[in-house]
Structure formats: C-alpha cells, structure tokens
A and B are shown apart, each in its own frame.
Chain A
Amino acid sequence: MLQIKFVLLWSDLLFFVLIAAVVVGGVWAGRVEHLRLAWRQVGQSRVGMATATVLLAFVLVALLDSLHYRERLPGEQENYAVEVRSALDAALTGLRTRTEKTYSAPLATHLFAKESLDADLGRDFPRLKHGGAHLGEDLTAQGGDIAAKAIKGLGLGLLGAMAFGLVSLPLRRAAPHLAWNAQLATVLVLCLLGGVIVALAGDYHVLGTDKVGQDVLYLTLKSIRTAILIGTLTTLIMLPAAVVLGLLAGYAGGWIDDVIQYLYTTLNSIPGVLLIAASVLMMQVVIDTHPEWFATTAERADARFLALCAILGITSWTGLCRLLRGEVLKLRELEYVQAARALGVSSARILWRHVLPNVMHIVMIAIVMDFSGLVLAEAVLSYVGIGVDPNTISFGTMINTARMELAREPMVWWSLVAAFAFMFVLVLAANLFADVMRDAFDPRVVKQ
C-alpha cells in the first residue's frame, strides 16, 4: 500500500510542461545550424556558463518543491492529510519541524527576547529548543563547534564538487571548447556554501528563526519555487497570444492589424500596476465567493498564484507582440517569403515554416529578459497586498512580514537580509545570463 498520494497542482503541471518544452526546444535548436552556433557562443562565455549553473541550481530546488504529495494518515481507512507537501519539504523535514518559540539570531543558542524564567532567576534569554541543543549547558564550546562543523562542511563541499567534476568528465570531453572551468568553479562555490550550510543546519538555525520560530533557511528555500515559477509561467501563459497576434498583425495587415494594434495600445495605456491591482482585486472576489472549487488550501493558493501569473502575463504580452509585429513587417517583404508566396505556399505554412523560425530569437530573448523583472515584481506586488496568497511562502511575503521588525531594538535583520540576498543572487544571475543570451542570439549585435 502506497503511503503517499501524489498531488499535481496546476502550476506543477505547467512547470513540468515548460521544462519539457525547454528540453524539446534545446534538441531542436541543436539541429539548426545558426541556433547551434548561438548556443555555442553562450557556452563559450564564462559568465554564461557560471550564471547558467546558478540558475540550474535554483531550478532544481524549484523542481523538487513542485513534486507534491499528501501523506497517508495512520488508521485502517484510506485517509490522506489535508496538508500538501513537496519533495523539498520531505528532504528538509528537520528544518521544517525544528521550530522555536519566536525570533532567534543566526547560529544563536538563545532566544532573541528576554523572558521571565523562574521567580528568583529574573528575566533572561531562554535557551533554544533546537539551536545548539547538543552543546548542553557548556556554551563555551559553541565557537569551536561551529568552526569544526564549518570545516567539515567545507571538506564535504570539496568532495561533492570533485565528484561532480568526475561525473561530468565525459561531458567536458565531448565539448572541450566550452567554458567548463567557469562552470566547475561555480559548482565548487555552490558546493562549499551548501556543505557548510548542511553541516551546520543539523544543529543550528543557520539563518535564524522568524516571528513564529520557523527556520528562515527553510522559508528562503521554499520561496525559490514561487520566484522561479512566477518568472517562467507568466511568460509561458502570455507566449501563445503574443506570438499568434504578433505574427498575424505583421503578416496579414489591413483591418486585422488595426484591431490587434488597437487591442495592445488599449491594454498598454492602462498603467501596469493599476491593471494588476484591479484584476487581482476582482480575482480575490471570485476565489472568495467560490470556496467550493478548491479541495485544499494549497489548491486555493495555487489557483490564486496562477491567476496572478495570468494577470501579469496580460499586462506584459503587449511589448513582445509589438516587437514581433515590427519584425514580421520586415520579413514579409524579404525575397524568400515573396518567393514562397509566388510558388503558391499557403499563408499558414509560410508563417509556420519561414517566418516563425526567424523570429524565434526575439521570443527567446524576451523570455529571459522578462524573467528578472517578474521576480522583482512579485516581491513588490506581494508587499502592496496584490501578490501571491499570504500563505504562499515567497520572497515578497517574507519581506512583508519581516519589515516591521526593523523598528525593534536590537534589530531583527536576518529574515530581510536572507530574502534580499537570495533574490539578489537569482536576479543577478538571470540578468547576466539574459545579456549573454541577447549577445548570442540577436543578429543586430555585432559579433567580434
């Protein structure tokens, strides 16, 4: 008897579809000569390989966090827990369950606030239940213990990186001209950091705990899925509309062009934040008045999340649509398209065979360029109150709950810093990778 029941949320499904599409697209791109050259240029760039490695690590976490299941409850009957967990939750069970009472600083052994203990002892900082609990009462050993664990973690990371280097050796042999050294260096840095964190996370709260005592490291890792999904699903949702309408407007011309132009000018003229705010408000009403649609709270939060992606997509497809229309207007007049038309090839076939492959680079560049902006937008929108469900763990909700704590004396800085630091690394990697992609795929950029 299976002890778990797999749950496929809509966002999971879309995310898997997206990854499958990327894989299929990669295989296709490998067969086409000029795309293969462009990818080779990305691979030869040190920045490209390093940032791609970082992004892949983030995607891996998001992927683990997208394999959802419900645990079977003990008992004769086949009942499953209401709570939907993910593979990441299972891997981080220790972090998830070792909660404290309230705030504690990173690597601390005591709570952040004083509490009255016994009548005669007065007020003091109480010991943490889990942070440094193995030390017992002898706290002088804490510094040495942390250092020893960190060194052990570094060794572990080094071993991991070396193992990775060995396993990936055939790959390096197969494509010797790519910037593997940069990639390996990134893996080394990631492994060393990961090793230290893993070695310490067993006995300490590496990034501290938040108001209700949850481990901040766990929260930041959980936020990655929300950030990655909002950056990718939004473009996935808007892509078909933008591509179809852009191609149609550019190729058909006439009244079709006029109607599509009118459509995107109108949508474009509504300030983005306000359109999002209005749509999210209305979506909240729909979700709140139809509680019967959702079996679990996870499904409800997921529906709200997808709706947010769709809304963000509606406000952002106009830019890509306009770019595509302009490019198709140019392509339409080129000899090979004219020749195809003269030979009697149908319009649909011309668009599919001759026009679409030649605008794909614009689509690809748009996808990677939009990603970082969307990750940043999620945090802002969640702060304003029109972002993801407050129960969904995301960078935005983390910042939102942590920002009031800056007023405390002394300050509770760790949740904010953790959220901002992870977001910064993700967005910086995405920005740098997008630049490399644009240089490689945009024919207007002069190649050295």
Chain B
Amino acid sequence: MLAYLIRRLFYALPILIGVNIITFALFFVVNTPDDMARMHLGAKRVTAEAIDKWKAERGYDKPLFWRSDAAGVDKVTDTIFFGKSVRMFALDFGRADDGRDIAREIRTRMGPSLAVAVPVFVLGLFSAISFALLLVYFRASYLDFAGVVLCVAMMSVSSLFYIIGGQWLVSKIWHLAPISGYAEGLSAAKFVILPVLISLIAGIGSSARWYRTIFLEEYTRDYVRTARAKGLPERLVLFRHVLRNALIPILTGAVVLIPTLFMGSLLIEAFFGIPGLGSYTIDAINAQDFAVVRAMVFIGSALYIVGLLLTDISYTLVDPRIRLQ
C-alpha cells in the first residue's frame, strides 16, 4: 500500500510538470511580457521606460529559460521560467499586483471558501441521494416520471437564475438572510446559509438524475433478483442491497472533488461577497492579475491530482476485490 502510494505520487509529478509547462507557455510564450505590460498599463502610447519598470517590478525582465551572461547555476535559476514556474513547487507564488504575498492570501482565504463548499458538498450528496432513492423506490410510476421531468427542468435553468432569483426572493422580498457579505467565526452561519441553499438547489437536478440511473442499473443485477426471490421485502432490497452497492460508484466518484473544495466556487463567492479563493480568482481575472491566476491554476491542478489519488485509495477501502499493487 505504502509503496503504491509513493509510486502514485511519482506518477503525479510529470502531470504537475505538464500543467506547469502549459501555464508557462500560456502566460509567457503566447504573449511576451512586453505585451502583458502594454495591456496592463492600458494606454495606447506607453513609453519603453514604463514597460521596463512594470517588468522589473514583477521580475519579468529576465530571459525566459537561459541566461547566458550569468555565472554557474544562475544561468538557469535567474530566469522567468525558474523564478515564476519552478518555484511554485515549493509553494512560493510570489506577489500579487497589489504587493501582497499570494501564498499568505491563499491561506487566509481558504477558510471562507470551505465554510461554503463543505456544507454544499455534504448536504448536496445527501439530498441528491435521498431524492434519487425516493424516485427509485417509486420507479415506473407517475411520481418517478414527474421527478425525472423536474430534474431535467431544473438542469435546464441557468445557475445565474438560481443565484439572482434566490437573492431577490429570500433577501429582498422575505428579508430572511443578508444579500451578501461574510463574518468570521460562528456569525458566518447567517451569511453562509443562502449561498449553500442556492448551490444545493442548483446542483440537485443533474446529480439526482445521475444517481437514479446508477440505482436503476444496480436493480438489474442478479443478486437483486435473488434477494427478491428469497422473499425479502422491497424496502429491504432497496436499502440493504441496492443502496449499499450503488453507493460505491457514487461515493468514490465524489471523493475526487474533496480536495478541490478548497478552491471554492467562483460564481457563488462572487455573488455573495464571500472572501474566499473563488472570489479571489474572479477579482484577479477582472484585474488581469496574471500572477494570481497562474498560482490558482497550479493549486487547482495539484488538488485535483490529490483527489485522483484519494479516489484510488477509497476504491480499495470500499471494495475488497480491488488490491493496489
């Protein structure tokens, strides 16, 4: 097991390097730092000095890969590629355009993101599974049909509608929750409740429908027929056999998302003014803060790779037939 984990970590390394090279190519090769400076400084006629100053402030005034005028190791290390991309592996992301340390910013903003994302994840999984179970229990009836129609209709509504409509109805008409904002500690609850609720409603359509098909597929298996044949009541067939076996693909499929919860949700955080990583990313996109976007791409990919690893492990935990070697 341990040997497997270590080997998997080594497999993850080339992928991270690949991500790094892709982002590097996107940010520095497709456009030269001069282009970025000109874009960022805005005006049509930008002096060469202003561009040089902008580049020097951000450390973009170095060669991309190779510095021939330096001595020894500096030939490689004193370049943009090393300074901006390789150092990300040491979680050194440099500074944002407003001068703040990105790594530090990320650490403080993780909390609010998790405060929204974790309840959404747990409650979302629970509510979608329960709803799907209900539909499956009444399968091939009008209730089931109406439920599926409802799911498809809910899937077809833009998530923007849920957010705008929810804010309008709950906050503006009913005055039940603040429209946006955030507070530290326990008082965060009243700010978090509306975004969580809206995310749940926006997500339940597609996931409940998806889980329903997994449950129904499980129903066609031989062991279900056997369970019925030996006289087990339908309720027990559903909960003791179908639910347990169908949970394996559902839960292992959800595990990959756990690490990415740290990243938060771009839309929800932007709309509700939650100072998490999602709104940080949005602000960076709008301000065209390339350093922050680059850092978020790297972290997001790293977390996703961790998620894949967790998925593999959880397979062995729930299904004894699978052995990792």
Binding site for B on A (CB under 8 A): 262, 265-271, 273-275, 277-279, 281-282, 284-286, 288-289, 372, 376, 379-380, 383-386, 395, 399, 403, 406, 411, 416, 420, 423-424, 427-428, 431-432, 435
- Stretch in B222-230, B245-253, B285-293 with 4+ CB within 8 Å of A: B285-293
Query: Contacts A269-B19, A270-B19 known; A282 to B26 CB distance under 8 Å?
Result: yes
- Nearest opposing residue in chain B for A432, CB measure: B152
A269 to chain B: which residues have CB within 8 Å?
15, 19, 301, 304-305, 308
Q: By the criterion CB–CB under 8 Å, are B39 and A284 in contact?
A: yes
Q: By the criterion CB–CB under 8 Å, are B30 and A266 in contact?
A: no
Answer whether residue B258 sits at the interface, using C-beta atoms and an 8 A cutoff: no
A266 to chain B: which residues have CB within 8 Å?
15, 18-19, 22
Q: By the criterion CB–CB under 8 Å, are B293 and A277 in contact?
A: yes
Q: By the criterion CB–CB under 8 Å, are A281 and B18 in contact?
A: no
Answer whether residue B156 sits at the interface, using C-beta atoms and an 8 A cutoff: yes
Answer whether residue B260 sits at the interface, using C-beta atoms and an 8 A cutoff: yes
B263 to chain A: which residues have CB within 8 Å?
271
Interface string of B12-26 (1 = CB under 8 A from A): 001100110011001
Q: By the criterion CB–CB under 8 Å, are B297 and A270 in contact?
A: yes
A275 to chain B: which residues have CB within 8 Å?
297
Residue B36 contacts which of A262, A271, A285, A380 (CB distance < 8 angstroms)?
Answer: A285
B300 to chain A: which residues have CB within 8 Å?
270-271, 274
Q: By the criterion CB–CB under 8 Å, are A399 and B160 in contact?
A: yes
- Listed residue (B266, B286, B290, B297) with the most chain A CB atoms within 10 angstroms of its CB: B266
Answer whether residue B27 sits at the interface, using C-beta atoms and an 8 A cutoff: yes
Q: By the criterion CB–CB under 8 Å, are A262 and B18 in contact?
A: yes
Number of interface residues of B (CB under 8 A): 46
Answer whether residue B267 sits at the interface, using C-beta atoms and an 8 A cutoff: yes
- Listed residue (A282, A372, A384, A424) with the most chain B CB atoms within 10 angstroms of its CB: A282
A282 to B285, CA, bound (A): 11
What are 21 A-B interface contacts by the 8 Å CB criterion? A262-B18, A269-B15, A270-B22, A274-B297, A281-B285, A282-B30, A285-B39, A286-B30, A289-B38, A372-B155, A380-B159, A380-B267, A384-B270, A384-B285, A399-B158, A399-B164, A403-B164, A406-B172, A420-B157, A424-B157, A424-B158
- Nearest opposing residue in chain A for B18, CB measure: A266
A376 to B157, CA, bound (A): 8
- How far in angstroms is the closest Cβ of chain B from A424? 6
B159 to chain A: which residues have CB within 8 Å?
376, 380
B317 to chain A: which residues have CB within 8 Å?
none
B308 to chain A: which residues have CB within 8 Å?
269
Given A384-B270, A420-B157, 14 additional A-B pairs, CB 8 A: A262-B14, A269-B305, A270-B23, A270-B300, A274-B296, A281-B285, A282-B30, A282-B31, A285-B36, A286-B30, A384-B266, A385-B282, A403-B164, A427-B156
